[in-house]
Structure 1
Amino acid sequence: MRSATQRALLALALVLPLAGLALLLAVPGADLRWAHHPAHFWLVLGTAGLSAGLAWATGDAAARRGDARLAHVSLAFLASAGFLALHALATPGVLLAESNVGFAVATPVGVALGSLFALRSTREVAGDRAVAEVRLARRLRWVLLAVMLGWAAVSLAGLPPLDGPPAPAERLPLLVAVPGTLLYAVAAWRYARLWRARGEGVLAAVLAAYLLLGQALVAMALAPTWQLSWWEWHVLLLVAFALVAVGARRSWREERFAGLYLDDTAAGRREASVLFADLQGFTTFSEQHPPEEVTAMLNAYLAEAVPAVLRDGGDVDRIVGDALMVTFNTRGDLPDHAVAAVRAGLALQEATARVSGRHPGWPRFRVGVNTGPVTVSLLGTHGGRTHTVIGDTVNTASRIEGQAPVGGVAVGPETLSSLPGTARTQPLGLLALKGRTEPVETTLVLSL
């Protein structure tokens, strides 16, 4: 729900900064000068650190969920963070003896670059296009980092075009402010439409941040150095990133940026493989041993089982007691997901067999794998959110696991049809699975 607080926040972000800047420029006597170099250094560096933290958090969420929007939001924050850090180095008398032209104009360049990614983050993509967009964002991250390092090297070496006098370089903020402000305005307008549809607080925070970043570019182009109007754009940047950090902090910790997800991330359809594993005899073992020993046993197994499934591209959806649920291809970027899931199941059994070999009395894993259509879903609301897969494919995978022999990997017919001809298998026959009206042909996979 769009709260009155969110509406007030957006109104202030839209009106107050420009009104303050206009007042200071219209009344020169109010635009006081304050040349405090250490304050500038720490303000800019702290803002860069906050932006870098947001870039990492959104980038991590984008990688886990395969979300193209978050990937480009992360790049927008990264562009601002890197060039802000370079700008901090331009503070005279702190790290450098005198101001450096390249570092001095770094902030408008970085914030303007961020507007390109902000606008691209507004695109709604799905399926193969979303996968391609995430891959593009991954490559752009390395390009952006290379540009930052190159900018720093050229600035320190005093090479063209960053070797000129400060006066011509001061025209650069104006050149980048006009397109950058327009791009942020378009991005903010599109986010406003998304916010009206979803009403998520983190969306309102990103929308407000884009408004503030666009207005910061205007202040960079117009404000004289060390005047209050000049300090204003530094504060605008800090407030922009702080709003996003607060918005994310107030979201449920497991899916902080869920409000920004593409529709296909929050409720998309995939062809996926689902692996279930649990310990045969776990209940009896728990009854006969103290909780501390049960916990030690589970941790010993999971320390081997989880890395085994992650190596083959699996995502651990959940761990409940002795049960492990792993999904393959929820991001749509693993075309051989059935093979990967079976390979992961075999690797899990091999790794945990070494553990059980050292502890003969411990229970052993059973593994079931099934392949088919699923819905990738964001379930729950604030205070209890999870990103998971739903569908009959999931339910059948769980039932197949319950029928698998101890130490074995049982698969359904769709999974079996995707395996290479070299796979060694053993039919288990038609199994009547609980909850299904028709029996399912289940097969034991011995090796790939």
Structure 2
Amino acid sequence: MPANDLVSAPIQGQPRTGPYLPPATQPVRTVVWVIHLALPMLGLWLLLANHDDLNIEWHDNFGHFLLIIAVAGINVVLGAMIGQASARRADARLLLVSLVFLSSAGFFLLHGLATPQIILPKGSYGFDLSQPIGLLIASVFAAVSALPLNERAARAVLRSQIWLRGGLVLVLVGWGLASLVPGFTALSDPSPPLGAGLGGFEPVGVVLYAAATAMMFRLHRSRPAAMLISLVTAYALLAEAMIAGMYRHNWHLSWWLWHLLLTLAFVFVAYSAHLQFRREGSSAGLFDSVALSATVRKIRAEYEEALEELVGHLRSRAESRVPVATRLAGKFGLTEGQAAVLDRAGAALAGERELSERLAALVDTGNQTRVGLPERELLTLALDRVRQAYGDVRITLVADGRVAMGAREYGPRDFPGNQPVRLESTIVHPLTVKGRLAGALEVPVGRTAQDAALAATLASQLSISLENARLYQELSTLFRQYMSPDVANSLLADPRTAALGGELVELTALFADLKGFTSFSERAAPGEIVEMLNRYHTAAVPIILSNGGTIVQFVGDALLALFNAPARQADHAAAAARAALAMQEAAEEIAAGTAGYPRFRIGINTGLALVGNIGSPELRGFNAMGDCVNVAARLEGVAEPGTVVIGQSTFDQIIPPPTVRPLGDLALKGKEEPVRAYVLSGLP
């Protein structure tokens, strides 16, 4: 895997495969690049502006031939390498770039072969026109290569590659025969001393190269890479070579200048490829940074897939990593050093993944500690989640003062100062509740450097969760024996609800007592009285709770229940009525089996009341105060044994209307206005 792809990162939301250039160095590189391009043009201007003094003639046929052969050879090698990369990546841009180098190199070579006194005795039209024609053809390939080709266009280019390469070869062979075989065509005839030109087509090539340079530079800005900037420089120098070639003073310094520009264009790319090859030790990804964006994304996806495969292999803890490393090295053309780097990167990433998963498991374990969650359920949920991240984790609770963990047993003395026990591949931490041993946690260690610390944190988290679960269970059991479940749940969830104070709430109050309790108490033994009360309340309490009521007090044989406080109910009046009728049915069954037992009488009323904690900072209770509660108590007082009396406000809120017997307007104690009441006998 090329090193530049290993360190690549998106820039401005696009993928990048070249080595990252820090922001501070980019302006410096840009200045150097501009100087490289400006100096040749400055030299051309000096040569042409002072023709007689500086633009001297230097005639060296054999030196010219050797220069062309060397530069063309380098260019052919570059074109072939880029062509191989285009075939390996199936990338249209790399194919077109390879044709830029091959076409310019081919015609440059033909220009060298046409050097006077090498094959032909004198200069010829072929000698003058070979390189301008080659540069013009290459400019077309360069301009198309810089375009952001879409998928359809790229496929069309790849389908035409045989025709493009074959056509280029035929053109080169035909041009060589025409320009090197004496008398074959006019191209082998001697040309004028000032040389032949393209008849004004040179500016077309300059424009195409300029466009290709601008587009390639824009691509370099989005994903900086040394190979891309070298290609930008090469395209710009080829444009300058066309400009310099327009001044056809053969064998003068201005004529040699375009040879130098061509040489620099190819050498820039060759040198960048050489440096990258030395850095990476492989030619597999030398030109990946030049490829189309779709190809770059595909390459990155392949690398990510390979890295994920290696990470998965490392995390599975297979005995040998050689098969995977060998296969990946062969697939991506990695050197031994690159495979080792990839192996270390995979191991580091696998460790980071495991660390992240274990930290997430710790967070989830803490989130599972909730009010009312049973201890066994809590530990089961925590164990299932923890095993996903930590592997074979085991939790065991104390039994008979010992913790049996597989074939081993642990007691308080095995964990002095609550320190863990370190085994060969696991570590055993004590789980404590209120400072005492409550269980043990066994966690595998050795996979990451943080295993021991994570295991200690996990044990601490589970100890807190276990202690909280038991504390909640104790509080819940204690509270529910002395108050309504709604009040208990509210206090457990938010202790601030125990503060003194209250709020005005519309509620339905239910008062119930046993008519005849006083006379029964006079003739019954204390134990029999308690038994009788417990039987009635044991039947009444579940009925009230199942209908959403809250019992706020027991006073001897009487009880007060509230509906719509503290828990809200939309149909609290109907719920209170259902509960009252069910209580009377249950009371009749109790009284029917025992002679002399008293009967319930119940009063219900709906209205506003002040609901909250009433008392002092030292002792308080949840209660309701208000006229509606007082009326409910008065209605209970006028009810006959075995009946339920409801006020007008309750009757109005039960829809459809209940079955009742009107009692008319009652004058109740403490009320100036009469209260209309009804005897409730049934609900729709």
TM-score using structure 2 length: 0.40
1:147-158 mapped onto 2 (5 Å cutoff): 147-157=171-181, 158=183
Cα gap change, 1:9 to 1:140, in 2 (>3 Å) = farther
1:264 corresponding residue in structure 2: 294
Instruction: State the one-letter code of the partner of 1:17.
Output: P
Of 81-90 and 123-132, the range deviating more from structure 2: 123-132
Whole-angstrom CA distance in 2 between matches of 1:65 and 1:240: 25
Cα gap change, 1:166 to 1:130, in 2 (>3 Å) = same
Query: Is the 8 Å Cα contact of residues 124 and 190 (structure 2) preserved in structure 1?
Result: no
Matched, 1:195 2:220: yes
- How many equivalent residue pairs? 295
Query: Is the 8 Å Cα contact of residues 226 and 272 (structure 2) preserved in structure 1?
Result: yes
Give the secondary-structure state (helix, strand or coil) at the position aligned to 2:187: coil
Matched, 1:8 2:31: yes
Of 40, 57, 70, the residue aligned with 2:94 is 70
1:210 deviation in Å?
A: 0.6
1:246-265 mapped onto 2 (5 Å cutoff): 246-251=271-276, 252=280, 253=282, 254-265=284-295
Matched, 1:83 2:107: yes
Whole-angstrom CA distance in 1 between matches of 2:158 and 2:341: 27
1:17 corresponding residue in structure 2: 40
Q: Which runs of 5+ in 2 are unaligned?
A: 1-20, 310-317, 333-337, 343-387, 389-684
1:5 deviation in Å?
A: 5.4
Instruction: State the one-letter code of the partner of 1:320.
Output: A
1:184 corresponding residue in structure 2: 209
Of 127-136 and 188-197, the range deviating more from structure 2: 127-136
Whole-angstrom CA distance in 1 between matches of 2:132 and 2:233: 19
Whole-angstrom CA distance in 2 between matches of 1:88 and 1:190: 31
1:244 corresponding residue in structure 2: 269
1:95 deviation in Å?
A: 3.4
Whole-angstrom CA distance in 1 between matches of 2:34 and 2:299: 37
1:253-292 mapped onto 2 (5 Å cutoff): 253=282, 254-268=284-298
Query: Is the 8 Å Cα contact of residues 90 and 99 (structure 1) preserved in structure 2?
Result: yes
1:31 deviation in Å?
A: 1.1
Cα gap change, 1:174 to 1:4, in 2 (>3 Å) = farther
Give the secondary-structure state (helix, strand or coil) at the position aligned to 1:98: coil
Whole-angstrom CA distance in 2 between matches of 1:105 and 1:134: 30
1:220 corresponding residue in structure 2: 245
Matched, 1:121 2:145: yes
Of 93-102 and 162-171, the range deviating more from structure 2: 162-171
Cα gap change, 1:325 to 1:243, in 2 (>3 Å) = closer
1:176 deviation in Å?
A: 3.5
1:402-413 mapped onto 2 (5 Å cutoff): none
Aligned-residue CA RMSD (Å): 3.4
Give the secondary-structure state (helix, strand or coil) at the position aligned to 2:38: helix
Instruction: State the one-letter code of the partner of 1:18.
Output: M
1:165 deviation in Å?
A: 4.8
Instruction: State the one-letter code of the partner of 1:61.
Output: A
Q: CA deviation digits over 1:210-236, x for unaligned, max 9?
A: 110111111111141111111111111
2:325 corresponding residue in structure 1: 320
2:197 corresponding residue in structure 1: 172
Instruction: State the one-letter code of the partner of 2:195.
Output: E
Whole-angstrom CA distance in 1 between matches of 2:233 and 2:327: 45
Q: CA deviation digits over 1:266-316, x for unaligned, max 9?
A: 1049999x999xxxxxx99x9xxxxxxxx9xx9xxxxxxxxxxxxxxxxxx
Whole-angstrom CA distance in 2 between matches of 1:247 and 1:41: 26
Whole-angstrom CA distance in 2 between matches of 1:52 and 1:64: 18
1:412 corresponding residue in structure 2: none
Whole-angstrom CA distance in 1 between matches of 2:61 and 2:102: 24
Instruction: State the one-letter code of the partner of 1:178.
Output: P
Query: Is the 8 Å Cα contact of residues 212 and 236 (structure 1) preserved in structure 2?
Result: yes
Whole-angstrom CA distance in 2 between matches of 1:150 and 1:110: 13
Whole-angstrom CA distance in 1 between matches of 2:238 and 2:341: 32
1:68 deviation in Å?
A: 0.7
Cα gap change, 1:175 to 1:159, in 2 (>3 Å) = farther
1:257-406 mapped onto 2 (5 Å cutoff): 257-268=287-298, 320-321=325-326
Identity of matched residues, %: 34
1:166 deviation in Å?
A: 1.1
Matched, 1:97 2:118: no
Whole-angstrom CA distance in 2 between matches of 1:188 and 1:324: 35
Whole-angstrom CA distance in 1 between matches of 2:198 and 2:40: 18
Greater RCO, CA 8 A, separation 6+: 1
Whole-angstrom CA distance in 2 between matches of 1:218 and 1:113: 15
Whole-angstrom CA distance in 1 between matches of 2:54 and 2:327: 67
Query: Is the 8 Å Cα contact of residues 245 and 258 (structure 2) preserved in structure 1?
Result: yes
Instruction: State the one-letter code of the partner of 2:159.
Output: R
Instruction: State the one-letter code of the partner of 1:148.
Output: L
Query: Is the 8 Å Cα contact of residues 56 and 74 (structure 1) preserved in structure 2?
Result: yes
Matched, 1:112 2:142: no
Cα gap change, 1:66 to 1:9, in 2 (>3 Å) = farther
Q: CA deviation digits over 1:395-445, x for unaligned, max 9?
A: xxxxxxxxxxxxxxxxxxxxxxxxxxxxxxxxxxxxxxxx9xxxxxxxxxx
1:70 deviation in Å?
A: 0.8
Q: CA deviation digits over 1:241-266, x for unaligned, max 9?
A: 00011122223433111210111001
Instruction: State the one-letter code of the partner of 1:263.
Output: S
Query: Is the 8 Å Cα contact of residues 25 and 31 (structure 1) preserved in structure 2?
Result: yes
Instruction: State the one-letter code of the partner of 2:288.
Output: A
1:325 deviation in Å?
A: 8.6
Instruction: State the one-letter code of the partner of 1:167.
Output: P
Matched, 1:57 2:81: yes
Q: Which runs of 5+ in 1 are unaligned?
A: 277-282, 287-294, 299-318, 328-380, 386-434, 436-448
Whole-angstrom CA distance in 2 between matches of 1:322 and 1:150: 46
Cα gap change, 1:325 to 1:168, in 2 (>3 Å) = closer
Q: CA deviation digits over 1:13-70, x for unaligned, max 9?
A: 3311111101101012111211011111111111111111110011010110011111
1:171 deviation in Å?
A: 3.9
Query: Is the 8 Å Cα contact of residues 180 and 214 (structure 1) preserved in structure 2?
Result: yes
Instruction: State the one-letter code of the partner of 1:123.
Output: L
2:674 corresponding residue in structure 1: none
